[in-house]
Amino acid sequence: TLAEQWKADDMVTGAEAAGPYINFRINRTVLTRSVLQAVHATGSKYGWTNEGAGKRVIVEFSSPNIAKPFHAGHLRSTIIGNFIYKLHKAHGWDAISMNYLGDWGKQYGLLALGFERFGSEEELVADPIKHLFDVYVKVSAAASEEAERIKAMDAEAAAAAGPTIQDQARAYFKSMEDGDESALALWQRFRTLSIEKYKQIYARLGVHFDVYSGESQVGEGMSRAIQMLTDTGLLIEDKGAKLVDLTEHKLDKALVQKSDGTTLYLTRDIGAAIERYEKYNFDKIIYVVSSQQDHHLKQLFKTVELLGLPYADRFEHINYGLVNGMSTRRGTVVFLDDMLHESKEKMHDVMRANEAKYNDVVDPEHIADVLGMSAIVIQDMAARRIKNYTFDWGRILNFEGDTGPYLQYAHARLCSLERKAHVKVNPDADVSLLTEEVTCDIINQISLYPDILAASIKSLEPCTVVQYILKLSHSISSAWETIKVR
């Protein structure tokens, strides 16, 4: 039998058949020593591999639209994308984190007109994301009201009314496309100020982007994409518009150019894909975008495949579900910054409830912020990403149960033990003394971490790591109750 053929070693001392299974006998002392020495030697890189060595991956995530709400959907993309980016780095990939901003289009003509009417230099500098959104809402409302007034006019009066706000917006954006310096200077200022504000928000979440790209950065790739679609016979015309017929693949007809010659998201995405491969020579590119965009990404990937591009099989879409019930004291959350501030304030309230312990906390504002971030991140990553979930402040800010604050508490307690012990970890300690059941359970859990990372790179599911950490924390919590530490 296979069990009889097994050759024992120091770690696995024997094997025996048990029906269709084989049971292995493990030398507990050797296993414990091996695991603890590996952790001590590699530190925070325990479980890392070189599996992706020599390979490059681009992870595109977050990707907010300038002058539009930076909302909970972007938060999910940011958290999940950052996990996938760091996971690839842990497996030796040359990983590039990319933020593809929605920073181009007719709406910027509308925004420029709106800023001229409703803008405030002081408010722009203080909070560009919020102020540009407010301006956009006001000018959009003005354009809608104007359209209703013109609709009620007769043809002669409507013609005499002159260019509408929307007409002026189109003309302004046309001047941007034609390279008008003053128009581009204002747009560039909006973009730069917004990115600086985004960076502040990302820093709170521990997120860094290697590249800030955007629709505006796609150059001749768009015209090349149109030409390639034409040359391959994929492009068809319908009333002056140009589209790709993907009905054979159950993906409908995909519009790539309007009858007035303006391009759409799909065109820019194809152009961006071409330019990215030529610049970065990636082995894989991952788009972290909500499930609402499943159809668009399928159209993009299928079009790239039909173009015969040799890297068409390197595209991957990682989707996720929606967040329900996201609200603050001020009402429905629109901006991510508001949500992060709310999490900090709510956690601060929880901390203040225990006055004695609160008075001992150094820099409670910072601690509340970190705990609030942890609460939001763990709530988001605790279940499979495709699942919708309901946001519940009461549950996620709890120090008990499977929450971010609970994990922070478990970690802080261990750090306190290490700090008060005044003893350095000895990798050569006599581990044969670690015979308690709870101790063995912790060692077993730690030994599984490399396997958890290996499984995660295949599924790209954050919950795999989060559930593992929660289980490990539960094991440690049990040890506190049964093992006396002096």
Q: What angle do CA 116, 118, 119 make, to 5 degrees?
A: 70
Q: From CA 107, how far away is CA 109, in angstroms rounded?
A: 5
pLDDT digits (tens, 9 = 90+) for 82-103: 999 999 999 999 999 999 998 8
47 SS3 class: coil
List average pLDDT for each run of 10 residues in the chain, which is 486 residues long. 81 88 91 94 96 97 83 84 98 98 87 94 91 90 90 81 88 87 92 90 92 89 90 91 93 88 84 95 97 95 96 97 66 69 88 88 92 90 89 74 91 90 86 92 96 97 97 94 80
pLDDT of residue 334: 57
Q: Residue 265's pLDDT is what? A: 84
Query: Active-site residue among 7, 45, 55, 71?
Result: 71
Per the CB < 8 A criterion, the answer to whether 87 and 457 are in contact is: yes
Nearest to 323 by CA among 63, 74, 65, 67: 74
Quote the DSSP letter at residue 215.
Answer: G
Helix (H, G, I), strand (E, B) or coil at 231: helix
Q: Are strands 284-288 and 315-318 parallel, antiparallel or unpaired?
A: parallel
Task: Report how far residue 67's alpha carbon sits from residue 132's, in angstroms, rounded to the nearest whole number.
Answer: 5
Instruction: State the catalytic residue, choosing from 55, 68, 89, 474.
Output: 68
What is the Cα–Cα distance from 363 to 366, expressed in whole angstroms? 6
* Strand ranges inside 211-252, DSSP E: 211-214, 235-238, 241-245
Q: Give every CB contact of residue 367 below 8 A, 6+ residues apart in sequence.
A: 351, 361
Burial 168-180 (b: 16+ CB within 10 A, else e): bbbebbebbeeee
Block residue for tokens 């060692």: 443
Q: Other CB atoms closer than 10 Å to residue 301's CB: what's the count? A: 19
**Which residue, 3, 7, 5, is CA-closest to 15?**
3
411 is catalytic: no
pLDDT score recorded for residue 329: 47
Q: What is the pTM of this model?
A: 0.89
DSSP assignment of 32-45: HHHHHHHHHHHGGG
Please indicate whether residue 346 is annotated as part of the active site.
no
Token look-up 């409670």 returns 364
Q: Which residue from 209, 269, 214, 215 is spatially nearest to 58, judged by alpha carbons?
A: 209
Q: Where does 119-259 have alpha helices with state H?
A: 121-126, 128-151, 155-160, 165-177, 181-204, 221-231
Instruction: Give the contacts of 258 (CB within 8 A, at least 6 positions apart).
Output: 241, 264
- 7 tagged catalytic: no
Looking at 74, 88, 284, 302, which residue is catalytic? Answer: 74
pLDDT value for 275: 95
* Of 200, 126, 194, 123, residue with least CA distance to 369: 200
Characterize the bridge pairing of strands 235-238 and 211-214.
unpaired
